């Protein structure tokens, strides 16, 4: 699904063991390895869809629509690269680190309609900590894809566990799905809440409670 390629900020060779530089930040360029969007093919498909929907794809108003739609989907399905910089937890900070209300926008894989809301992402630090803004980039890494909310939530938690080795990680996503608001049951305003807890945040009731309380979800 994703790949972390290359490292920066580290010497190469036999002395490159990061443990030899405990006070250095460590960088990892994060890129996705999904198949890219074939824009010309997407444009043709959108033009065909317009015709199938009974629309005159050659009308002046729709002439540029296939190009716009194809580019919109490409943007929504392509996460931006970022550098994951982690720092040694020199102070031995062992309390919860939580970023609340990270914006989430993604595309439901069942209807190709957006769902959007917020994510609360927290972790109990192990040996390394990371810049808080990076939590938002990790969310985007998986949100810019065809998704279901449950999988998105778990992927963010799994990724943080693998790359940060925290003592615990928790992810809650609250989102409104356009496929529920605009069609079907038309449950406007209804939000779906999903959570993924791992490590101490799963096993220790007090840590779990603290996470949900700080995330503003004391009722769960
Ligand atoms: Zn849907």
Same domain for 132 and 188, yes or no, is: yes
Per-residue pLDDT at 218: 64
> Is residue 110 a part of any domain in this protein?
yes
186 Cα: distance to centroid of ligand 1 (angstroms): 12
Same domain for 98 and 70, yes or no, is: no
184 Cα: distance to centroid of ligand 1 (angstroms): 10
148 Cα: distance to centroid of ligand 1 (angstroms): 8
> Is residue 13 a part of any domain in this protein?
no
Which residues have their alpha-adjacent CB atom under 5 A from ion ligand 1? 108, 110-111, 179
Same domain for 105 and 183, yes or no, is: yes
Domain boundary among 52, 75, 98: 75
> Is residue 151 a part of any domain in this protein?
yes
> Is residue 117 a part of any domain in this protein?
yes
* Residue 192 near residue 177 (C-beta atoms within 8 A): yes
Low-confidence ranges of the chain (pLDDT < 70): 1-25, 218-220
The tokens for 99 are 């970023």
Per-residue pLDDT at 11: 38
179 Cα: distance to centroid of ligand 1 (angstroms): 5
pTM, two decimals, is 0.84
Same domain for 70 and 129, yes or no, is: no
Same domain for 69 and 102, yes or no, is: no
Reported in sequence order, the residue ranges of the chain that DSSP labels E, i.e. its strands, are 2-8, 26-32, 82-88, 97-108, 114-124, 128-130, 146-147, 168-177, 192-199
From 165, 140, 168, 170, select the one nearest 154 (Cα to Cα).
170
The tokens for 205 are 């009731």
Per-residue pLDDT at 24: 59
Same domain for 71 and 93, yes or no, is: no
Same domain for 63 and 132, yes or no, is: no
Per-residue pLDDT at 132: 83
> Is residue 20 a part of any domain in this protein?
no
Domain holding 66, by residue range, is 39-75
Residues facing residue 192 across a β-bridge: 175
Q: How far are the Cα atoms of 66, 67, 129 from residue 93, in angstroms, in the given order?
A: 51, 50, 9
Same domain for 67 and 136, yes or no, is: no
Beta sheet of 168-177, edge-to-edge order? 146-147, 97-108, 114-124, 168-177, 192-199
> Is residue 170 a part of any domain in this protein?
yes
Per-residue pLDDT at 25: 64
Per-residue pLDDT at 152: 98
> Is residue 7 a part of any domain in this protein?
no
Cα gap 162→13, rounded to integer Å: 24
Same domain for 111 and 178, yes or no, is: yes
Same domain for 54 and 141, yes or no, is: no
Domains of the chain: total: 2
151 Cα: distance to centroid of ligand 1 (angstroms): 13
């Amino acid at each position: 699904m994703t790949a972390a390629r290359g490292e920066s900020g580290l010497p190469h060779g036999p002395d490159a063991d990061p443990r030899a530089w405990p006070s250095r930040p460590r960088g990892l360029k994060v890129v996705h390895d999904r198949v890219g969007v074939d824009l010309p093919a997407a444009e043709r498909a959108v033009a065909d869809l317009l015709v199938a929907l009974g629309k005159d794809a050659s009308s002046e108003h729709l002439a540029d629509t296939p190009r716009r739609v194809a580019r919109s989907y490409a943007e929504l399905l392509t996460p931006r690269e970022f550098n994951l910089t982690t720092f040694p937890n020199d102070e031995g900070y062992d309390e919860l680190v939580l970023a609340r209300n990270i914006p989430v926008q993604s595309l439901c894989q069942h209807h190709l309609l957006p769902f959007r809301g917020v994510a609360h992402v927290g972790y109990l630090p192990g040996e390394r900590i990371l810049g808080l803004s990076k939590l938002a980039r990790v969310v985007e890494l998986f949100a810019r894809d065809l998704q279901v909310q449950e999988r998105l939530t778990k992927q963010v938690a799994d990724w943080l566990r693998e790359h940060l080795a925290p003592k615990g990680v928790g992810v809650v996503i609250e989102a409104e799905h356009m496929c529920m608001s605009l069609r079907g049951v038309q449950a406007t305003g209804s939000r779906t809440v999903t959570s993924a807890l791992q490590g101490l945040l799963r096993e220790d009731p007090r840590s779990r409670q603290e996470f949900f309380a700080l995330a503003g979800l004391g009722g769960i």
